[in-house]
Structure 1
Amino acid sequence: MEETAGNYDAARNVIRSPHSGSMGPGWRNFAGKSWGYANWKRFYGLPFQDVPGVGRLDDVKEEAAAGAMGQALEARQSRGDAAVNLAVTSMVAQAYLHTGDDKYRLWIERYVSGWIERAEANGGVVPDNVGLGGQVGEYTGGKWYGGYYGWTWPHGWHAVGCAVMAAAENGWLVSGGDGRYLDFARRQLDALTERGIVHRGTLHVPYKYGDPGWYDYDLWIDSVLLADGSASRPHEPTGSPVLWRDGWFEFQPMEPHFPAHLWHASMAEADWDRAVKLRHAHEDDARRVRSGFRVKKDFGGNDEPWAAYLHGEYPDYPLHMLRHSLTLLYYRLAFIHHDREDPASYRETYFQYRNPVVTEALSQLMCGAPRMIYNGGLWFPRVRYYDAELRRPGVPDDVAALVSRLTEDEVELELVNLHPSRARRLIVQASGYGEHRIVRVHAGQLSGELKLATYVEAGAPWPAAERTTRTTEIGAPAFEVELAPASRLPLVLEVERHAYKPSYRQPWERA
Structure 2
Amino acid sequence: MRVDRRAFLGGAAALALPAQAKAAKASLSLDKPMAAPDWARMQRQLLDANAVACETFYAAYVDRRDRLKVFERWGANDGPDDAAEATNDWYLLHALGGSDRIRTLAARFWEGHLRQFAAARTTDVPIARAGMYFREFPVQMDWQHNAEGLTSFNLMGLSSPRDPALLARTRRYADFYTGRDSTAPNYDPDRRIIRSLLNGSRGPMLRQATPLDWAGDPFDPTPFHMEHGETSYQQTLDHYAEYGDVVGDNPLNLQATTLGLNAYALGGGERFRTWALDYLAAWAERAAKNGGLLPSRVRSDGKVGDDWWQGVYGWGFSPIVPQTGMREDRNRVPRSITAFMGALLMSGDMAYIDLWRRQTARINDAARTIDGTLSAPTMHDAQGWYGWKPGPYRTNGFEIWYMSQRADDRAAAGDDPWIAFLEGRNGDYPVQALTADLARVAQRVTAREQDDTTPQTRLADWPIGINPASVKSLVQLMTGGLHIARPPWSKTSPPQGGVPLHCRLRYFDPVARRAGVPADVGALVHRLADRETEVTMVNLGRQARTVTIQGGAYAEHRIDGVMVDGRNMAVGGRDITLRLEPGCGARLVLAMTRYANRPTLAFPWDR
TM-score (ref. length: structure 2): 0.60
Letter in 1 for 2:545: R
Q: Find 2:551's aligned residue among 430, 439, 452.
A: 430
Q: Find 2:512's aligned residue among 383, 390, 399.
A: 390
Q: Which residue of 2 aligns with 1:479?
A: 576
Partner of 1:116, secondary structure, is helix
Q: 1:189 and 1:257, CA in 2 relative to 1: closer, same or farther beyond 3 A?
A: closer
Q: Which residue of 2 aligns with 1:120?
A: 288
Q: Does 1:251 align with 2:380?
A: no
Letter in 1 for 2:362: A
Partner of 2:512, secondary structure, is coil
Q: Which residue of 2 aligns with 1:145?
A: 309
**C-alpha offsets along residues 319-367 of structure 1, whole Å, 9 cap, x if unaligned?**
2111111111111111112222233332454123211101110111100
Q: Find 1:7's aligned residue among 170, 174, 186.
A: 186
**Equivalent residues in 2 for 1:193-204 (5 A)?**
193-196=364-367
Q: Which residue of 2 aligns with 1:174?
A: 346
**Is contact 1:156–1:209 with CA below 8 Å preserved after alignment?**
no
Q: Which residue of 1 aligns with 2:79?
A: none
Partner of 2:523, secondary structure, is strand
Q: Which residue of 2 aligns with 1:501?
A: 598
Q: Does 1:358 align with 2:470?
A: yes
Letter in 1 for 2:559: I
Q: Which residue of 2 aligns with 1:135?
A: 303
**Is contact 1:157–1:207 with CA below 8 Å preserved after alignment?**
no
Q: 1:32 and 1:502, CA in 2 relative to 1: closer, same or farther beyond 3 A?
A: closer
Q: Does 1:322 align with 2:495?
A: no
Partner of 1:30, secondary structure, is coil
**Equivalent residues in 2 for 1:4-83 (5 A)?**
4=182, 5-27=184-206, 30-31=209-210, 33=212, 70=241, 73-74=243-244, 77-83=245-251
**Equivalent residues in 2 for 1:72-471 (5 A)?**
73-74=243-244, 77-99=245-267, 101-137=269-305, 142-153=306-317, 159-163=332-336, 165-175=337-347, 177-196=348-367, 205-211=376-382, 246-249=384-387, 251=389, 258-275=396-413, 279=414, 286=415, 304-372=416-484, 374-419=496-541, 421-444=542-565, 469-471=566-568
2-side partners of 1:325 and 1:198: how far apart?
Answer: 40
Q: Residue 484 of structure 1: CA displacement?
A: 1.2
Q: 1:355 and 1:201, CA in 2 relative to 1: closer, same or farther beyond 3 A?
A: farther
**Is contact 2:210–2:243 with CA below 8 Å preserved after alignment?**
no
Q: 1:104 and 1:204, CA in 2 relative to 1: closer, same or farther beyond 3 A?
A: farther
1-side partners of 2:373 and 2:296: how far apart?
Answer: 27
Q: Which residue of 1 aligns with 2:85?
A: none
Structure of higher RCO (CA pairs closer than 8 Å, 6+ residues apart): 2
Q: 1:203 and 1:355, CA in 2 relative to 1: closer, same or farther beyond 3 A?
A: farther
Q: Residue 199 of structure 1: CA displacement?
A: 9.0
Q: CA RMSD in A?
A: 3.4
Q: 1:13 and 1:23, CA in 2 relative to 1: closer, same or farther beyond 3 A?
A: same
Partner of 2:387, secondary structure, is strand
2-side partners of 1:353 and 1:31: how far apart?
Answer: 29
2-side partners of 1:268 and 1:195: how far apart?
Answer: 24
Which has the larger displacement, 180-189 or 378-387?
Answer: 180-189
Partner of 1:485, secondary structure, is coil
**Is contact 2:550–2:576 with CA below 8 Å preserved after alignment?**
yes
Partner of 1:426, secondary structure, is strand
TM-score (ref. length: structure 1): 0.71
Partner of 1:168, secondary structure, is helix
Q: 1:35 and 1:424, CA in 2 relative to 1: closer, same or farther beyond 3 A?
A: closer
2-side partners of 1:496 and 1:317: how far apart?
Answer: 27
1-side partners of 2:374 and 2:584: how far apart?
Answer: 46
Q: 1:426 and 1:477, CA in 2 relative to 1: closer, same or farther beyond 3 A?
A: same
Q: 1:205 and 1:416, CA in 2 relative to 1: closer, same or farther beyond 3 A?
A: farther
2-side partners of 1:32 and 1:43: how far apart?
Answer: 17
Q: 1:342 and 1:256, CA in 2 relative to 1: closer, same or farther beyond 3 A?
A: farther
Which has the larger displacement, 185-194 or 78-87?
Answer: 185-194
**Is contact 1:441–1:494 with CA below 8 Å preserved after alignment?**
yes
2-side partners of 1:356 and 1:263: how far apart?
Answer: 30
Letter in 1 for 2:592: V
**Is contact 2:313–2:330 with CA below 8 Å preserved after alignment?**
no
**C-alpha offsets along residues 96-150 of structure 1, whole Å, 9 cap, x if unaligned?**
111262212221222112211221222211110111112224xxxx411221221
**Is contact 1:436–1:497 with CA below 8 Å preserved after alignment?**
yes
2-side partners of 1:427 and 1:336: how far apart?
Answer: 37
Partner of 1:193, secondary structure, is helix
Q: Residue 22 of structure 1: CA displacement?
A: 2.0
**Is contact 2:273–2:346 with CA below 8 Å preserved after alignment?**
yes
**Is contact 1:100–1:503 with CA below 8 Å preserved after alignment?**
no
| Matched length | 400
